[in-house]
Amino acid sequence: MKKAAFFIGCTVPVRGTNYEQSFREVARVLQIELVDHPGFSCCGFPTHAINRMTALALSARNLALANQVSLSSMITLCNACTENMTHTNHLIQHDPVTCDEINRILSQIHLQYHGEVKVKHAMRYLYEEIGLDTIRASVKNPLSNLRIAAYPGCHYTKPSELYEGFDNPEKPHTLNELVIATGASIVSYESSCCGGGTLGAKEDTALQMGIQTLKSMKENEADAIVLICPFCDVMFEQNQKKMEKLYGKEFNLPILYYPQLLGLAMNIERERLGLTINRIKLDKVLEKIQSGNKE
């Protein structure tokens, strides 16, 4: 049994409970013990553009809490949490001045932190700590009928200087491999940033950014998009209707979070995968899975 602190951030526990619930379910099957900590707060990412030290100290606080209860591993669901927490770890380990500054702040709330906790995005954790073989072995119902556009999002692999050679920032492949492990096939498409980071500053620009990618996914006949970041979901799912209006054409591309896809392949009961929370109807996708079983 592996054990890790489970850091769900701000957006997932409110708007991405389908992501959270399905990951908890597949983690159980894959024998990962997820430890919730009642003190976890925001990772700090939203303050990074305003005041860098606030962002660093907020993430160091969460890491210090995990370390306090002797957890040396942390699993994150959101790409932004992953990037910000990994960035903090990196500075604490390589920049003594920043490390001191962070700990000066933490000491005021009776904490300290020196880089003890390893942060990994949940999918990186599955890929590196659990492995494709184990995941393949857990699949009871290969989803061989599905054509998936796997969209890892920016901070899953970038900035690559933080991620120790994990994946390829120009051509990410680990999420593709994870999807293929469920029996589904991958469609290639032209990928660009989802636009989530620009949404607060200028909505139309952000929506246009998202449209570029949705257009290519649709042209390449994806049945669904697989996501692993709640901000990508804000764009590709929650804003898909707005994008369709702006573009003048329907996309009608449902999304699944990766653990939902894996959960379906594992034959986990559907109500335990939060599928009813998904905003774009999954009927066609589920039908396709059903008809694949009959063949």
Partner 1 sequence: MKKPLMQEHLDPFFKYQVMKEPGGEKLALCFACDTCTLSCPVRVQEEAYQPRTIIRLILLGAKQEVLTDPVIWLCASCFQCQERCPQGVGVTDLINAVKNIACREGFIPKSMTMQMGLLAKHGRLLEIGDFENKKRDKQQLPLIKEQPEDIQRIIDLSGAARYLPQESE
Q: How far is the CB of 156 from partner 1 (least distance, A)?
A: 11
Closer to partner 1 at the Cβ: 171 or 294? 171
| Helix and strand numbers, DSSP H then E, in the chain | 13, 8
> How far from 284 is each of 63, 150, 252, 264, CA to CA, in Å?
41, 18, 11, 14
| Chosen residue from 3, 28, 51, 128 binding partner 1 by CB under 8 A | 51
Binding string, 238-277, against partner 1, x = CB under 8 A? ------------------------------------x---
| Chosen residue from 33, 72, 159, 249 binding partner 1 by CB under 8 A | 159
Judged by CB under 8 A, the number of residues near partner 1 is: 53
Please report whether residue 192 would count as binding partner 1 according to CB under 8 A.
yes
* Contact predicate 148/223, CB 8 Å: yes
Please report whether residue 108 would count as binding partner 1 according to CB under 8 A.
yes
Cα 219 from chain centroid (whole Å): 25
* Contact predicate 227/153, CB 8 Å: yes
Please report whether residue 164 would count as binding partner 1 according to CB under 8 A.
no
Closer to partner 1 at the Cβ: 97 or 294? 97
Residue 60 dihedral angles phi and psi, to the nearest 5°: -60, -35
Binding string, 60-99, against partner 1, x = CB under 8 A? -x------------------------------------x-
| Three-class secondary structure of residue 173 per DSSP | coil
Q: Looking only at residues 9 through 38 of this chain, which bind partner 1 when binding is defined by CB under 8 A?
A: 9-11, 13-15, 17, 20-21, 24, 36, 38
Please report whether residue 152 would count as binding partner 1 according to CB under 8 A.
no
Q: What is the DSSP string of 147-164?
A: EEEEE--GGGT-SGGGTT
Please report whether residue 120 would count as binding partner 1 according to CB under 8 A.
no
H/E stretch holding 165: none
Please report whether residue 41 would count as binding partner 1 according to CB under 8 A.
yes
Backbone conformation region of residue 221, classed left if phi is above 0, alpha if psi is from -120 to 50, else beta: left
Q: Where are the beta strands (DSSP E) in the chain?
A: 2-7, 32-35, 73-76, 118-121, 147-151, 185-186, 224-227, 255-257
Interface ranges with partner 1 (CB under 8 A):
9-11, 13-15, 17, 20-21, 24, 36, 38-39, 41-42, 46-54, 57-58, 61, 98, 105, 108-109, 154-155, 158-160, 169-170, 192-193, 195-198, 200-202, 205-206, 208-209, 212, 274
